[in-house]
């Protein structure tokens, strides 16, 4: 009788391959992002909407977890806002490890939190789609990354989009 159980050594090998693969994807995406022409939304100033959108995220090595509201309990929740909204991200460290939160495209970075339950906040005006992530080397790859979806109101290139509530 044959067994399909994977032993520890094989498992480690598979995880190693998957990790390498994930790293290649991240590098490739990074290169694409650098090559991409500047999008319209970043090239032109975004009108402030006067709205404020607040989110709270608790950070762990394997990802951020939403706290409160629609994202409560969700891992690496997609944060949805409208272009021009003032976005405030409250970040809480979930464990005894250094973590922070930064916006890749908007170029905003929080202070580094070292201890559990320490809190910090970043604020910025939403311009275009972005990702939030932890700047500690390896943490983004370990899972500390999520999307910021920025809806452009009355996008001139297509159908007017409904404003998110
Ligand atoms: Cu981290």
CA of 75 to the centre of ligand 1 (A): 14
User: 152 alpha carbon to ligand 1 midpoint, in Å?
Assistant: 30
Alpha helices in the chain (DSSP H): 8-35, 40-43, 139-142
Cα 84 to ligand 1 centroid, rounded to whole Å? 28
3-state class percentages of the chain: helix first, strand second, coil last, to nearest 5: 25, 30, 45
What residue spans define the domains of the chain?
A: 1-36, 52-151
**Distance in Å, CA 136 to ligand 1 centroid:** 5
Q: Tens of pLDDT along the chain (165 residues)?
A: 444 555 555 655 655 555 565 555 455 544 544 444 444 444 457 899 999 999 999 999 999 999 999 999 999 999 999 999 999 999 999 999 999 999 999 999 999 999 999 999 999 999 999 999 999 999 999 999 999 999 997 654 444 455 665
- What integer pLDDT is reported at residue 45 of this predicted model? 73
d(CA 121, CA 103): 12
- For ligand 1, the distance from its centroid to the CA atom of residue 117, given in whole angstroms, is 14
Give the per-residue pLDDT at 136.
98
Assign domain 52-151 to its CATH architecture.
Answer: Sandwich (2.60)
């Amino acid at each position: 009788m044959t067994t399909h159980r994977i032993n520890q050594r094989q498992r480690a090998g598979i995880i190693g391959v998957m990790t390498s693969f994930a790293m290649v994807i991240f590098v490739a995406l990074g290169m694409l992002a650098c090559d991409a022409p500047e999008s319209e939304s970043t090239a032109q100033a975004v009108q402030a909407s006067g709205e404020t959108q607040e989110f709270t995220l608790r950070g762990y090595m394997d990802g951020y977890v939403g706290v409160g509201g629609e994202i409560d309990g969700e891992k690496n929740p997609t944060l949805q806002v409208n272009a021009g909204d003032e976005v405030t991200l409250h970040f809480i460290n979930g464990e005894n490890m250094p973590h922070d939160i930064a916006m890749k495209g908007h170029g905003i970075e929080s202070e580094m939190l070292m201890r559990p339950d320490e809190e910090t906040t970043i604020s910025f005006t939403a311009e275009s789609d972005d990702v939030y992530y932890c700047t500690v080397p390896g943490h983004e790859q370990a899972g500390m990354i999520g999307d910021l979806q920025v809806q452009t109101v009355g996008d001139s290139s297509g159908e007017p989009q409904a404003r998110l509530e």
